[in-house]
C-alpha cells in the first residue's frame, strides 16, 4: 500500500511539474565489435543498442559495425571518435527525418538505408570545419583534424564548407579538403574500397558461386557482412532482384560456412520481408550451421521496429513505429529531457523507490506517452 501511494505521488509529481519524460528511442544496434569500443565511455560488445546523443570511440585495431533503424549501416574504423548527433526515423513517413552525425576524428563507411533513398540529403556528417551531405549509397568519410576526405563508391556526395562553397563527388571519386590551406580537390579514387569492390563484383555475378567466393576471399567476416549489406540496400541501383540477393547470400554462406549466421543476421535485418528466403538459402548452403543460421535469422527480423496505431484528435488512426525494446514513440525535437527507460528506472530507485515500483512507474510513463 505504501509503495502504491509512493507510486501515485511520484507519477503525479513528474507530470504536474511539466516534465516531459520521453523514453528515448534506440536508434540502432551494434552487430559487430573488434578490439576496444566504447559508447559514452563504457566498453560495449556486439548487441549493444545505440541512440541519439551517444558517442562511440574505437581504439587501436578496433571497429564497430552498426545497423540503424532505417537499415543504413555504419562501419566505424579504428581510432575514431564519432557521435550520433540527431537521429529521427519513422518507417511510415519521411517528413522530419534526420540522420546527423559528428566525426571528431577517424573514419567510417556508410551504406545508405531507407531514409537516404526517400529523403536524399537527410544524412549529414559534421566535422570541425565542414558539413558533408551524402546522397550516395556507399561512402567512406575520414577526418584527421586537418583534412577531410570522402571516397564515394556508389552514388554522389557533397561537402559544404563554412564559407558556403561546395564540393561534389561522384562514384569512383575522392574529394579532399585541407583545413590549413583551404585547398580542395576531386579526383579518381586511387585506392578503391575493397568491400565496395567485392559488393560490385558479386552484383555482376550473384548466381555464380565461384565468383562470389572469389569476391569475398580477401575480406574479414565482418567485411563480408558489410558487402552483403551494400548489395541488399542498393539492390535497385545495382539491378538486383530478390532472387539475385538470395542466391548471392547462399553462395556467400557456402563459401564461408562459419560466417553463415552473421551473413543471415544482416540479410534478414535489412530485408525482413524476405527473411525466410534468405534463411532457407543460407541453411541449405551450410547444413552443419543450420541451427545457428535459423536462430540468427529470427534475431535479425527483430531489428524491424514494430508498428503501433494510435488515434489522432480527429478520430482517425495514425501509424508510427516503436523501436524494439522501448515500447514507445518519441520525438527527439519535442520539449523536455529525453531519457532512456533504464535511466528513468535508475533515477526512481535513487530516490528511494523499490525496483519493482520503479519499473511500474517506467511502464506507466511509456503507456502515457503512447496514448498522447
Measured from the Cβ of residue 129, the count of other Cβ atoms closer than 10 Å reads 18
pLDDT at 61 (0 to 100): 92
CATH: 3.30.565.10, 3.30.450.20, 3.40.50.300, 2.60.120.1440. Which one for 28-191? 2.60.120.1440
C-alpha distance from residue 155 to each of 131, 169, 170, 235, 265 (Å): 18, 9, 6, 13, 26
pLDDT at 156 (0 to 100): 85
pLDDT at 19 (0 to 100): 44
Phi, psi of 62 (to 5 degrees): -125, 150
pLDDT at 307 (0 to 100): 39
Q: Where are the domains of the chain?
A: 2-21+326-371, 28-191, 195-301
Yes or no: say if 277 and 285 are a contact pair by the CB < 8 Å rule.
Answer: no
- What 319-322 contacts at long range (C-beta under 8 Å, 24+ apart), as own/partner pairs, is 319/92, 320/90, 320/92, 321/69, 321/89, 321/90, 321/91, 321/92, 322/25, 322/370
d(CA 101, CA 177) in angstroms, rounded, equals 19
Cell numbers at 267, concatenated: 540479410
The distance in angstroms from the start CA to the end CA of the chain is 29
pLDDT at 332 (0 to 100): 33
Task: Specify the residue for cell string 561546395.
Answer: 166
The continuous run of DSSP H or E covering 106 comes out as strand 93-111
Please list the rounded mean pLDDT of every run of 10 residues in the chain (372 residues): 52 47 67 95 93 95 94 95 93 79 96 86 85 84 92 87 81 89 89 92 96 95 93 91 97 96 94 95 97 94 54 38 34 39 55 60 51 46
Amino acid at each position: 500500500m505504501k509503495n502504491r501511494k509512493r507510486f501515485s505521488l511520484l507519477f503525479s509529481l513528474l507530470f504536474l511539474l511539466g516534465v516531459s519524460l520521453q523514453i528515448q528511442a534506440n536508434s540502432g544496434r551494434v552487430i559487430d565489435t573488434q578490439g576496444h569500443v566504447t559508447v559514452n565511455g563504457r566498453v560495449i560488445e556486439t548487441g549493444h543498442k545505440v541512440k541519439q546523443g551517444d558517442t562511440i570511440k574505437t581504439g587501436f585495431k578496433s571497429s564497430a559495425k552498426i545497423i540503424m533503424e532505417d537499415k543504413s549501416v555504419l562501419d566505424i574504423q579504428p581510432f575514431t571518435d564519432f557521435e550520433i548527433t540527431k537521429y529521427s526515423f519513422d518507417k511510415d513517413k519521411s517528413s522530419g527525418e534526420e540522420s546527423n552525425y559528428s566525426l571528431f576524428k577517424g573514419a567510417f563507411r556508410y551504406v545508405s538505408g531507407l531514409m537516404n533513398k526517400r529523403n536524399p540529403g537527410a544524412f549529414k556528417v559534421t566535422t570541425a570545419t565542414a558539413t558533408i551531405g551524402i546522397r550516395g549509397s556507399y561512402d567512406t568519410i575520414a577526418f584527421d583534424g586537418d583534412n577531410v576526405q570522402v571516397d564515394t563508391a556508389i552514388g554522389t556526395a557533397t561537402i559544404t564548407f563554412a564559407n558556403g562553397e561546395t564540393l561534389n563527388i561522384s562514384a569512383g571519386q575522392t574529394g579532399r579538403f585541407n583545413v590549413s590551406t583551404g585547398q580542395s580537390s576531386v579526383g579518381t579514387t586511387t585506392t578503391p574500397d575493397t568491400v565496395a569492390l567485392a559488393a560490385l563484383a558479386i552484383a555482376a555475378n550473384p548466381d555464380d558461386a565461384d565468383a562470389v567466393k572469389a569476391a569475398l576471399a580477401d575480406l574479414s567476416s565482418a567485411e563480408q557482412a558489410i558487402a552483403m549489406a551494400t548489395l541488399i540496400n542498393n539492390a535497385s541501383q545495382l539491378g538486383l532482384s530478390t532472387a539475385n540477393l538470395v542466391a548471392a547470400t547462399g553462395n556467400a554462406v557456402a563459401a564461408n560456412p562459419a560466417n553463415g549466421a552473421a551473413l543471415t543476421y544482416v540479410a534478414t535485418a535489412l530485408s525482413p520481408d524476405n527473411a525466410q528466403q534468405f534463411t532457407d538459402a543460407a541453411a541449405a548452403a551450410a547444413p552443419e550451421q543450420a541451427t545457428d543460421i535459423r536462430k540468427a535469422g529470427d534475431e535479425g527480423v527483430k531489428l524491424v521496429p514494430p508498428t503501433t496505431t494510435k488515434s489522432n484528435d480527429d478520430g482517425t488512426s495514425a501509424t508510427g513505429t516503436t523501436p524494439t525494446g522501448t515500447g514507445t514513440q518519441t520525438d527527439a525535437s519535442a520539449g523536455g529531457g529525453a531519457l532512456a527507460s533504464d535511466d528513468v528506472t535508475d533515477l526512481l530507485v535513487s530516490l528511494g523507490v523499490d525496483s519493482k515500483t520503479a519499473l511500474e512507474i517506467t511502464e506507466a510513463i511509456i503507456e502515457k506517452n503512447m496514448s498522447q
